[in-house]
Structure 1
Amino acid sequence: MREIILLRHAHAEAAAAGQDDVSRPLSLRGEAEADAAGAWLKQHAATPVRVLCSPTVRTRATCERVLAALGYADLRVEPRIHEATPATLIRVLDDHADADTVLLVGHNPGLETLVALLTEGASDSGRGMPPGAVAWLTLPAGTIEPGSARVRHFWWP
Structure 2
Amino acid sequence: MRELILLRHAEATPHGKDGKDDRERELTDHGRREAHAAGEWLSSHKFHFDRVLCSPAVRTRQTAELALGDAVKPTYDDSIYDATVGDLYDLLDAQADVERVVLVGHNPGMEQLVAFLVEGRSEDYRGMPPAGMARLIFDGPLQPGSAKLETFWSPPN
TM (normalized to structure 2)?
0.94
Deviation, structure 1 residue 35: 0.1
Match of 2:8 in 1: 8
Matches within 5 A, 1:104-143: 104-141=103-140, 143=141
Residue-by-residue CA offset, 1:33-68 (whole Å, 9 max, x unaligned): 000000011111110100000000000000000122
Query: Does residue 61 of structure 1 match 2:62?
Result: yes
1:134 maps to amino acid: M
- Taking only aligned residues, the RMSD between alpha carbons, in angstroms, comes to 1.2
Q: Using the alignment, how far apart are the partners of 1:104 and 1:46 within structure 2?
A: 14
Matches within 5 A, 1:14-29: 14-15=14-15, 16-29=17-30
Match of 2:78 in 1: 79
Q: Using the alignment, how far apart are the partners of 1:44 and 1:129 within structure 2?
A: 20
- SS of match in other structure, 1:11: coil
More divergent stretch after superposition (42-51 vs 21-30): 42-51
| Aligned residues with identical type, % of pairs | 49
Deviation, structure 1 residue 126: 2.2
Q: Using the alignment, how far apart are the partners of 1:50 and 1:59 within structure 2?
A: 15
TM (normalized to structure 1)?
0.94
Q: Using the alignment, how far apart are the partners of 1:2 and 1:74 within structure 2?
A: 20
The match for 1:149 among 141, 147, 150 is: 147
Deviation, structure 1 residue 95: 1.8
Q: Using the alignment, how far apart are the partners of 1:125 and 1:102 within structure 2?
A: 24
Equivalent residues of 1:49, 1:74 under 8 A apart:
no
Residue-by-residue CA offset, 1:99-120 (whole Å, 9 max, x unaligned): 1100000000001001001111
Q: Using the alignment, how far apart are the partners of 2:45 and 2:151 within structure 1?
A: 9
The structure 1 segments of at least 4 consecutive aligned residues displaced by more than 2 Å after TM superposition are 15-18
1:14 maps to amino acid: P
